[in-house]
Amino acid sequence: MTARSFNFLKYKSYAACFSIAFILAGIAGYVHNGGFRYSVDFTGGTQLRFEFSKPVGSEELKGILARNGWEDAVTREFSPTEKVVRVKEFVNDAQGLAVAIQGALQANLPDTTVILHEVNGVGPGTGQELRWNFILMLLAGFALMFSYIVARFWSLSYGIGTIIALLHDPLAILAVIAITKIEISPNIICAIIMALGYSINDTIVIFARIRERFATSKPGESPAAIVNESLNLTLTRTILTSLATFSAVAALYMFGGESLRDLSLAFMVGILVGTYSSIFVASPIMLFFRR
């Protein structure tokens, strides 16, 4: 390595401890918060988005809904005047149910105008089927990515490094979701899949450079030095690509509206996690199994 190179592998143990601690914090958040919060797309029921002319508290809304027969209603605050209400009740006439809920809220908030903006109804069977479809899609994605890496580099060590990094990334994203209590929706699943695609692309670029250096290495040259040199050679490309992508998604987070906010937030976390795992997870594990 040159004098200006950074010794990434020197910190692989610290990185491993950090990753484990971060995922354990996510597990603690999951237990503390009673599990993940799922959108109506997965649980079934009816979801409505209301706008109020005056700020209304979430607890006040829950109390009104409970008194009118919707005891298990869940609310989510987009702003002091914009709320999402989810009830477990599902009927074929979702619009009729929405109007009934709107009427109940308006009757109990006479000085506030209640405007219904959106209503979505999903049956329990459909939600369960959608959840399994997403799980199968993730498993299929893992299998295809692992197969591609093994075929691309013709080495099991590269495949193992990739698959462990790809397992690390969604676990880290889910840890953030568990801690922050973000609701898991199809948008969040899509963000995780996009983050996996971004991460594996970054890993492939680094692994391609590592393989080239191994092919031209001299007898007795340290494998760790080769990996470190390759990481340094691709570092500028990695940082610039990550910054450009992160900036674009950050703009989407700030200006894309509430419907895209969770997706863009999860994807921003995925970009950071994917860049980190390509350097500090995939490469050290690949080197370990190569030895």
Q: Specify the number of domains making up the chain.
A: 2
Q: What's the CA gap between 265 and 247, in Å, rounded?
A: 12
Return the amino acid letter for 178.
A
Following CA atoms 173, 174, 176, 178 in sequence, which dihedral angle do they give, to the nearest 10 degrees?
170
Give the residue from 74, 104, 121 where a domain finishes. 121
Give the residue from 121, 152, 186 where a domain finishes. 121
Nearest Cα to Cα of residue 285 among 203, 192, 213, 172: 203
Q: What's the CA gap between 132 and 122, in Å, rounded?
A: 15
> Are 115 and 242 within one domain?
no
Q: Confirm whether 19 is domain-assigned.
A: yes
> Are 155 and 228 within one domain?
yes
Q: Confirm whether 3 is domain-assigned.
A: no
Residue 20 tokens read as 């484990």
Residues in the chain: 291
Angle between helices 223-233 and 283-290 (to 10 degrees): 150
Q: Confirm whether 149 is domain-assigned.
A: yes
> Are 197 and 160 within one domain?
yes
Nearest Cα to Cα of residue 89 among 97, 77, 100, 78: 97
> Are 32 and 160 within one domain?
yes
Q: Confirm whether 1 is domain-assigned.
A: no
CATH number of the domain residue 266 falls in? 1.20.1640.10
> Are 199 and 271 within one domain?
yes
CATH number of the domain residue 55 falls in? 3.30.70.3400
> Are 140 and 257 within one domain?
yes
The pLDDT value given to residue 231 = 92
Tens of pLDDT along the chain (291 residues)?
444 678 888 899 999 999 999 999 999 999 998 888 887 777 777 888 888 888 888 788 888 888 888 877 778 777 778 888 888 777 677 788 888 888 888 888 888 888 888 887 776 666 677 778 888 887 887 788 778 777 777 778 888 888 898 889 999 999 999 998 888 888 888 888 889 888 888 888 898 899 888 888 888 888 889 999 999 999 998 899 999 999 999 998 888 776 788 889 999 999 999 999 999 999 999 988 876
| Structural domain containing residue 90 | 45-121
Give the residue from 121, 138, 163 where a domain finishes. 121
> Are 137 and 253 within one domain?
yes
> Are 171 and 254 within one domain?
yes
> Are 145 and 83 within one domain?
no
The pLDDT value given to residue 1 = 47
Q: Confirm whether 113 is domain-assigned.
A: yes
Return the amino acid letter for 118.
E
> Are 21 and 49 within one domain?
no
> Are 150 and 259 within one domain?
yes
> Are 89 and 182 within one domain?
no
